[in-house]
Structure 1
Amino acid sequence: MQLNLKEILTAFMVLFAVIDVIGNIPIVIDLRKKAGHIQSEKAAIISGVIMVIFLFLGKSLLTFIGIDVNSFAVAGSFILFFIALEMILGITLYKEDEDTSSSTASIFPLAFPLIAGPGSLTTLLSLRAEFRIENIIVAVIFNVIVIYIVLKTSTKIEKILGPNGIKIIRKIFGVILLAIAVKLFTANIKELF
């Protein structure tokens, strides 16, 4: 097992930008109002489990259904691109279901697809091509801890940052995500031709 601090930090930052848990605070607060309560532990653990399982089985699963990693990464780059546009332009492209109870809100849409969604799953496969698996797992665990803390303290964070602070953070991460989407697209589109 070779832990590399640079790889862990890079993988952590990329996943953190893709998951955008700070930018999702308004959605979390909205879900909390609709559902009455969100099980932060459940949402964080389930999203972490989904990400680790996909890290190990994602490639095999894609091969089984006849999709190569590069095609999945290109498709994922489009999803990241649209998520980034949502963040930068303040528009909503993804519409969630209205049916929300406390337990379902913790799993859907919070754990999946907001936290462990197509963007983060695609990113995990891309990271796996570049980094050692144990470094990615450590980065996922750190992200799950941050997700849990943010979900648990989302109302306090919203009060501290205020609506404008959250908008600014969301736009900054939107630009970072857009850059990641472009890099993901250009790196993988070459492999397809």
Structure 2
Amino acid sequence: MSAYLDVTLLMTTFLTLFVIMDPPGLVPVYLALTSTQTSKQRKVAALQATITSFGVMATFTVFGQYILKFLHISLPALQVSGGLLLLIVAMQLLAGKDGGGESESATKQNVALVPLATPLMAGPGSIVAIMVAAQRSEGTIASWSAIGIALVAIHLVLWISMRFADIIHKVLGPDGTLLVTRLAGMLLAAIAVEILVAGIFAFIDAHL
């Protein structure tokens, strides 16, 4: 079994991604971003976000170092840009803006791809974590299998969290969802600031 699967790498990678991607913490943000959508649209958004996030994470797992090197982008710069994008979304949630000026399909697509898939799910922290796991692997079948299974498992957990969030939405009702939207905005702003500050300090350290 150990020749085909590195159980230790599997567990460490999954737990690291679970802490960073935070499926329980994603639920209130998901509810806030999809509060104006129907139940069917929310399910589609959850699936789109999960598939997109998995695609982004898998791409950076294999080609991350080459992509950043080719584009001359540093990891701190990626963190700062992700933090700024999240901060903008957080301000929109706090201000009660839900993209009403856009068409329904555009809004749904934007919510699923940005900010749900990236940078909330496949954000700077999770991308860096999976790239580090790939670098630390020995390039064997066992290590790549472990990373692949961990990646699939965490996205399955994320999809389940969003899928059953629809039940929470029905229980909360319009007023409860509005309250969750404001709270999610504050939490998202705090997360954005953490990512932004970490990226700035990392950028400073790298250039000193």
Q: For 1:153, give the aligned amino acid.
A: F
* CA contact 1:127–1:136 (8 Å) conserved in 2: no
Q: For 2:75, give the aligned amino acid.
A: V
Alignment of structure 1 residues 136-151 onto 2, 5 Å: 140-151=151-162
Please, which of 98, 104, 107 is the counterpart of residue 102 of structure 2? 98
* CA contact 2:17–2:154 (8 Å) conserved in 1: no
Q: Quickly say closer, same or farther: Cα 1:77–1:36, change in 2 above 3 A.
A: closer
Provide the C-alpha distance between the structure 1 equivalents of 2:167 and 2:110, rounded to a whole number of angstroms: 22
Alignment of structure 1 residues 75-154 onto 2, 5 Å: 75-84=81-90, 90-91=94-95, 98-101=102-105, 108-118=109-119, 120-128=122-130, 131-133=132-134, 140-154=151-165
* CA contact 1:71–1:192 (8 Å) conserved in 2: no
Aligned to 2:71: 65
Aligned to 1:3, what secondary structure does the other structure show?
A: helix
Deviations 1:93-134 (A, max 9, x none): 895872334xx766x2243122221453322343246x4236
> How far off its partner does 1:191 sit?
0.8
1:185 counterpart = 2:187: no
Number of equivalences: 185
Aligned to 1:175: 190
Aligned to 2:57: 51
> How far off its partner does 1:144 sit?
1.9
Aligned to 2:34: 28
Deviates more, 1:176-185 or 1:132-141: 132-141
Provide the C-alpha distance between the structure 2 equivalents of 1:136 and 1:184, rounded to a whole number of angstroms: 25
Q: For 1:99, give the aligned amino acid.
A: S
- Structure 2 unaligned regions, length at least 5: 1-5, 135-143
> How far off its partner does 1:74 sit?
3.0
> How far off its partner does 1:69 sit?
2.9
Provide the C-alpha distance between the structure 2 equivalents of 1:81 and 1:65, rounded to a whole number of angstroms: 24
* CA contact 2:87–2:188 (8 Å) conserved in 1: no
* CA contact 1:55–1:128 (8 Å) conserved in 2: yes
Identity %: 19
Q: TM-score, normalised by structure 2?
A: 0.64
Provide the C-alpha distance between the structure 1 equivalents of 2:83 and 2:199, rounded to a whole number of angstroms: 6
* CA contact 1:23–1:166 (8 Å) conserved in 2: yes
- Structure 1 unaligned regions, length at least 5: none
> How far off its partner does 1:25 sit?
1.0
Please, which of 9, 27, 48 is the counterpart of residue 15 of structure 2? 9
Provide the C-alpha distance between the structure 2 equivalents of 1:23 and 1:71, rounded to a whole number of angstroms: 24
RMSD: 3.8
Q: Quickly say closer, same or farther: Cα 1:115–1:28, change in 2 above 3 A.
A: same
